[in-house]
Amino acid sequence: MGQVQQPLTTSLLDLFLELCALPSPSGKERAVTDRVAGYLTRLGLEWDEDDAAARLGGDTGNIYCRIPATNGGQGTPIFLCAHTDTVPPEAEIDPVVGDDGIVRNAAGTILGSDNKAAVVVMLEAARRIVEEGLANAGVELLFTPQEEVSLRGADAFDHTRLVATTGYVYDQGAAIGEIVLGSPHGRLLDFRFHGRASHAGMWPEEGRSAIAAASRAIADFRLGRVDDETSANVGVISGGTARNVVPEWCSFTAEVRSHDERKAIDLVREMLETAAFAASLAECEVESEVRPSFPGYRFRETDEPVVLAARALRDAGYEPTYALSGGGADANVFNARGLSCVNLANGMMDIHTPDEHIAVADLEGMVEVTLALVDAARGTTWGLA
């Protein structure tokens, strides 16, 4: 890991703690977005918010801001993206900094470093670019809502507004230095089993248990790590009406992810057939729906946006490593639309859990990586729109 030369500024840490303390589950990001917008305004930057809130049924749209180039258009403009939502917190959020320099939540739920660590890094980098007059080829900032629910905010953003065709998100829970070369293709599956209700004590033989049928299907699914490229999961199940009633209905949600899209399609088909067979054995019926979650992508280490990221990491004192991710990020949306968007790890750990944490030094480290990206892009000529 690289050694950061400058100490963390109090304003950066204070802003991070403030944003983490503001609950912002998907669709309810208003308080965080207002704080972001106010920060940009104080820097003298122009920004706007699109109409994604109304289209997505939330309270917040995408915030877009452009920092003009300072070198006559030479070099490669880049865009940076972070999402303002988190998975739902299950308690209050009380971010504290320990003696070890690690930020954790003292209240026993998520911290929200995913992705507020990226939000504050982008804002701090923007402040330094503006106040220190740092040369750049053009930097665009995008703050999206509802990333945690199938990347809905980024999907609703009009990507043709971007001047840059190369971008970066900081949304990988790993040590700084890791560059994500690929993300899986995702599919969402919804199942609803229909049986026949009856009194469970008096006429159980008249009933047809939808829960039993759904349970058989789930037991026969291949779940977890299916192979080195593919995973599947059943995440939520509900059904029945009362303890003493044979359940007439049962619903559950599932997902499939694979770096090989054909494998994802084949596994989805297998799950649909398994559910139909389980329903028939229990004399039930099943309704199923399959929807795309996010499109996958794959980079090579020699691709120019990856090379630029590796150079910036080294310039900031970090040795690049390369990995494939099992998760999706806003980068998936932009890559599917013909842009090149690379996901970089930013030091957040144990995301989506009560053990989520991030080192204070990693916040400052990612600011240095961001400024190194801006500087490296200034000296390149590829990727122009």
Segment 263-290, tens digit of pLDDT: 999 999 999 999 999 999 999 999 999 9
Nearest Cα residue to 363 out of 98, 142, 167, 125: 125
Residue 4 binned pLDDT confidence (cut-offs 50, 70, 90): very low
The string of pLDDT tens digits covering residues 83-108 is: 999 999 989 999 999 999 999 999 98
How buried is 300 (Cβ within 10 angstroms: 0-12 exposed, 13-18 middle, 19+ buried)? exposed
> How many Cα atoms within 13 Å fall on the side-chain side of residue 41?
9
Dump pLDDT digits (tens) for 333-346: 999 999 999 999 99
Structure token digits, residue 38:
């106010």
- Whether the pTM exceeds 0.85: the reply is yes
Q: In what order do the strands lie in the sheet with 185-194?
A: 224-227, 230-239, 249-258, 185-194, 285-294
- What is the C-alpha to C-alpha distance for residues 73 and 88, in angstroms, rounded to an integer? 42
Of residues 5 and 54, more confidently modeled: 54
Dihedral sign, Cα of residue 14, residue 16, residue 20, residue 24: positive
pLDDT for res 6 = 41
- Span 208-232, mean pLDDT? 98
Domains of the chain in start order, with CATH, are 10-183+296-378 (3.40.630.10), 186-293 (3.30.70.360)
- First-to-last C-alpha distance (Å) of the chain: 34
Query: Which of 218, 248, 214, 215 has the alpha carbon at shortest distance from 232?
Result: 218
pLDDT at res. 154: 97
| 249 CB burial (10 A radius; 0-12, 13-18, 19+) | middle
Per-residue pLDDT tens for 58-81? 999 999 999 999 967 689 999 999
The pLDDT, as a whole number, for residue 202 is: 96
- pLDDT-derived band at 5, boundaries 50, 70, 90: very low
Q: Is the dihedral of CA 151, 153, 156, 162 positive or negative?
A: negative
Do residues 101 and 358 make contact, with C-beta atoms less than 8 angstroms apart?
A: no
pLDDT for res 33: 98
Six-digit token string for 346: 């930013």
Note if the bond before 115 is cis, omega within 30 degrees.
yes
Q: Residue 382 — very low, low, confident or very high, per pLDDT cuts 50/70/90?
A: low
